[in-house]
Amino acid sequence: MSRNPVIRLEGASTLFYKEVLRFWKVSFQTVAAPVLTAVLYLLIFGHVLEGRVKVYDAVGYTSFLIPGLVMMSVLQNAFANSSSSLIQSKITGNLVFLLVTPLSHWAWFVAYVGASVVRGLVVGLGVFAVTAWFAPPSYAQPAWILVFALLGAGMLGALGLIAGLWAEKFDQMAAFQNFIIMPMTFLSGVFYSVHSLPAFWLGVSHLNPFFYMIDGFRRGFFGVSDVSPWISLGVVATSFVIVSGIALRLLATGYKLRN
């Protein structure tokens, strides 16, 4: 991999464009389908629990649920973008065309994670645009919305890189999603306040960085949260740095790329 900064920058922009185009050309599957899934969650949970669950004063359950669904969609799709791209390239054999280029590990990281952030935000905006019809949104502290959306999408994009590098077949990728991503997502407070959990599961939730992403994201809409947004920011930023560092190290060493 070349260390030339000009080649690195140009290569990153080209690879980034290729990755964005890859998911956008099948947007019915990569964008519309996750939006539909989130709407179904809202219709089912909102209909069943509206009026029965009270989390914050003056905030209905449907309003509470929408930011959680938006952030969940952002995280899941950011992860799916980088992980699916790498595993498909490995299995089909076209990864070799990237390996012969003078791209540095930073170029790979910026392109894959950048495209993952774009996909996550596009899906999140789509979910928000559709679900906002069910409960008019408020924007108490919009800066937190942007900060946690970007950091969350970036972290999951980097985590998707790690999963894509590690996995050698789709079964392994499915195991990563089913045993790591999905449990962490559903134990993050998307559908409930973690303070409604028993003491043990409350403690487990506070060890989950996904909880801080969603809680901080909600803070931007309602101005209230289960923990301080500054604590959430510290946890999410630290998690992003750690996961990104691991991903960069694996890329730099060519982990499972040259086999």
Per-residue pLDDT tens for 124-182? 999 999 998 888 888 889 999 999 999 999 999 999 999 999 999 889 999 999 999 98
Q: Can you read off the two tokens belonging to residue 51? A: 């009026």
Written in H, E and C, the secondary structure of the chain is CCCCHHHHHHHHHHHHHHHHHHHHCCHHHHHHHHHHHHHHHHHHHHHHHCCCCCCCCCCCHHHHHHHHHHHHHHHHHHHHHHHHHHHHHHHHCCCHHHHCCCCCHHHHHHHHHHHHHHHHHHHHHHHHHHHCCCCCCCCCCHHHHHHHHHHHHHHHHHHHHHHHHHCCCHHHHHHHHHHHHHHHHHCCCCCCCHHHCCHHHHHHHCCCHHHHHHHHHHHHHHCCCCCCHHHHHHHHHHHHHHHHHHHHHHHHHCCCCCC
Model confidence band, residue 97 (pLDDT cutoffs 50, 70, 90): confident
Maximum Cα interatomic distance, the chain, rounded to a whole number of Å = 60
* Mean pLDDT along residues 20-29: 94
The predicted structure's pLDDT at residue 30: 94
The predicted structure's pLDDT at residue 4: 46
The predicted structure's pLDDT at residue 5: 43
Sole residue written with tokens 């599957």: 29
Q: How far is the C-alpha of 22 from the C-alpha of 152, rounded, in Å?
A: 21
Model confidence band, residue 93 (pLDDT cutoffs 50, 70, 90): confident
pLDDT in tens, 46-63: 777 776 666 777 778 888
The predicted structure's pLDDT at residue 226: 87
* Mean pLDDT along residues 208-228: 93
- For residue 31, give the amino acid letter: V
Does the reported pTM lie above 0.95?
Answer: no
How many CB atoms neighbour CB 61 within 10 A?
21
* Mean pLDDT along residues 201-219: 92
Q: How far is the C-alpha of 28 from the C-alpha of 84, rounded, in Å?
A: 16
Among residues 178, 191, 174, 163, which one has the least CA distance to residue 72?
A: 191
Whether the CB-CB separation of 199 and 121 falls below 8 Å is answered with: no
pLDDT in tens, 248-258: 999 999 998 87
Q: Can you read off the two tokens belonging to residue 142? A: 């919009």
CB-side neighbour CA atoms (13 Å) of 66: 23
Model confidence band, residue 198 (pLDDT cutoffs 50, 70, 90): confident
Q: Is the pLDDT of residue 212 over 60?
A: yes
Between residues 198 and 207, the one the model is more confident about: 207
* Mean pLDDT along residues 208-226: 93
Whether the CB-CB separation of 164 and 91 falls below 8 Å is answered with: no
Q: Which of 112-116, 140-144, 186-190 has the lowest mean pLDDT?
A: 186-190
* Mean pLDDT along residues 180-202: 85
Whether the CB-CB separation of 179 and 153 falls below 8 Å is answered with: no
